[in-house]
A and B are shown apart, each in its own frame.
Chain A
Amino acid sequence: MSARTILPRSKAAQREKIVNTLLGGGVIVLFLIAWETVFRLKLVNPLFISAPTKVLSAFAALFRDGTLLNHLTVSGTEFLLGYGAAIIIGFPLGILLGWFKLAKASFGPVVSAMQATPRIALMPLFIIWFGLGITSKVVVVLLSAIFPLIVNLQVAMSTIDGDLVRVARSYGATRWQIFRSVALPTSVPFLITGLRLAAGRGLLGVIVAEVFGGAEGIGYMIQYAGSTFQTDKVFAGVLIVALTGIALDYSLDRLGRHFDRWRGETAVH
């Protein structure tokens, strides 16, 4: 009758985890060593490829003189504003499109068309409309991040369990109550997936928009370093973008697991 039995993780499983970690880490370390060796032995023009140690020292230097922090603040602001706006607009829009058939019929085609349009190709227009400052970048982030959210929430609304709706209806639930007690909780895992996809797209949006035009931000830093052959700085910039992406994805994954507790151990792995 006891409903939950938590078995201790077996020794074999533990060993497998350790081996996997060592393997994954080992390949990265090997790659870094190979990279450094190629640089030291000058097998390729050192100007082109830099080296892990040089990237690290460039990173440290950028950090010390404060330029990194400046660029990071600019890019971070652009990202957060665009991402936040995407959530504020995309979440209700996705739900509306999924919940009301009329809304889907009216706005579905527009959304599909906009989703298919490459946002970056519109960057020249955004620069004309919003200037070279922060606004044009925020718009790119917004437009990059909003579609995964809209699409995922729209799908979420179509996966609502009809039996749960019937039960709620039999207890006299209003449409709003059904929405709050059944539809909204159903949407949570889809929202998290949407947020993860949106974070990746948004990050890409910031960097590309800054590379395209501007005088601040990590993307600009990468672009400028590249055009002046400071490969170590380029790699330092790429590194920080990658780390941010990993951190964002990891925290959203954790958040998702937190909301998914009710699925139990088996579903979350």
Chain B
Amino acid sequence: MTLPNAEPGRKRAVHNEHALETRGDNIVRLPVGQAPPPQAGECRKTKLSVKDLVIGYLDKQTGHTLVAVDDVKLDIREGEFVSIVGLSGCGKSTFLNAIAGLVRHQQGEIRVNGKLVSGPGPDRAVVFQKASLLPWRRVGRNITFGLELGGMKKADAQARAAHYVNLVRLNGFENHYPHQLSGGMQQRVNLARALACDPEVLLLDEPFAALDAITRELMQQELLELCEKVGKTVLMVTHQIDEAVLLSDRVIVFSARPAHVLADIRIPIPRPRQGHIKESGEFRGLMNRIWSIIEGNANMGGGI
């Protein structure tokens, strides 16, 4: 679990706090725990709708059916960035995989744009923790992989990939093989591969968990810029609370297994955001609040 950042850049943080307040006049600050009021964005249409979702699986060792996700309800609007945080093993990745169509659910329903999800589809794209690039394909043809599977002609896919190479700043690396790239760059190829399919909902499964701390920090900022540029609807699973707060419009806190929603917290920090808002008091306040919810649940016997 990542704890709030300590000292560095306190001075800048103070300055930043000030900037936030002048910029964010129209933002209503609410006492913790109270539901946020409807905002301008609320009238946007619902992209992803999850209703009463229950996911169980058979434990092959004991033969019992275990419940991983228990009665989760979640709506994500167009252009919203929503993160799910929770203890590791709480079922949040299972939840994401169910939305991706890779894991079957027992009850409830998942809809993307109103359409019922029954398996993987071109309306969703997943960025897994492991870059999982095809090692024998060059960067360019890794980015077109999803498009080719979708039936697009190679030439058309390549033309489209060029744009995304640019977007994730991999110009000049199109003809490199994955093993020639750093972990961060591989993950950017992974991201470009997903974005190239132009999904309705982008699913991120702990996308930076396998990277070192410095690269992770840089990638968070890059993803922040990227998301603000492309305005995609994103659902991210992470166990980095700072990552969730930095990137998201809403942070959903999952309980320990079986997972259900403990809290749905709006992140009222205005966009465009910069990486250094992490040092602001507001940011820390949000992080502490999320942390205390997780901690409270764990102490109540949620177990770690």
Interface, chain A (partner B; CB < 8 A)? 1, 3-4, 161, 163-164, 166-173, 177, 181-182, 185, 188, 261-264
Contacts and interface: CB of A to CB of B under 8 A. Distances in A.
Contacts of A166: 102, 128, 132
Interface in B135-158: 135-138, 145-146, 148-150
Most chain-B CB neighbours within 10 Å: which of A172, A182, A185? Answer: A172
Interface stretch (B34-42, B71-79, B178-186, B275-283): B178-186
Interface residues of B, number: 33
B145 A185 contact: no
A14 B57 CA distance: 59
B150 A171 contact: yes
A163 B132 contact: yes
Contacts of B145: 167-168, 171, 181
Given A163-B128, A169-B102, A170-B101, 18 more contacts: A3-B181, A3-B185, A163-B132, A166-B102, A167-B126, A167-B145, A170-B120, A171-B145, A171-B146, A171-B149, A171-B197, A172-B119, A172-B122, A181-B145, A181-B149, A188-B136, A261-B177, A262-B135
Chain B, interface SS category: loop
A262 B121 contact: no
Contacts of B136: 185, 188, 262
Nearest to A259: B136
A264 B132 contact: no
B138 to A, nearest CB: 8
Most chain-B CB neighbours within 10 Å: which of A161, A166, A185? Answer: A166
A261 B145 CA distance: 19
A164 B134 CA distance: 7
Nearest to B205: A170
Contacts, number: 71
Interface string B98-111: 00111000000000
Given A163-B132, A171-B120, A3 B176 contact: yes
A3 B132 contact: no
Interface of B: 100-102, 119-122, 124-126, 128, 130, 132, 134-138, 145-146, 148-150, 173, 176-182, 185, 197
A3 B173 CA distance: 9
Given A161-B132, A182-B134, A170 B102 contact: yes
A262 B179 contact: yes
Contact of A167 (B122, B128, B182): B128
29 contacts: A3-B173, A3-B180, A3-B185, A4-B180, A163-B128, A166-B128, A166-B132, A167-B128, A167-B132, A168-B149, A169-B102, A169-B120, A170-B125, A170-B126, A170-B128, A171-B122, A171-B150, A171-B197, A172-B119, A172-B121, A177-B149, A181-B134, A181-B145, A261-B177, A262-B135, A262-B137, A262-B138, A262-B177, A262-B179
Contacts of B126: 167, 170
Most chain-B CB neighbours within 10 Å: which of A167, A170, A173, A182? Answer: A170
Contacts of A172: 119-122, 149-150
Q: Which 8 A-B pairs have the closest CB atoms?
A: A3-B180, A171-B146, A163-B132, A262-B136, A170-B126, A262-B177, A171-B149, A172-B120
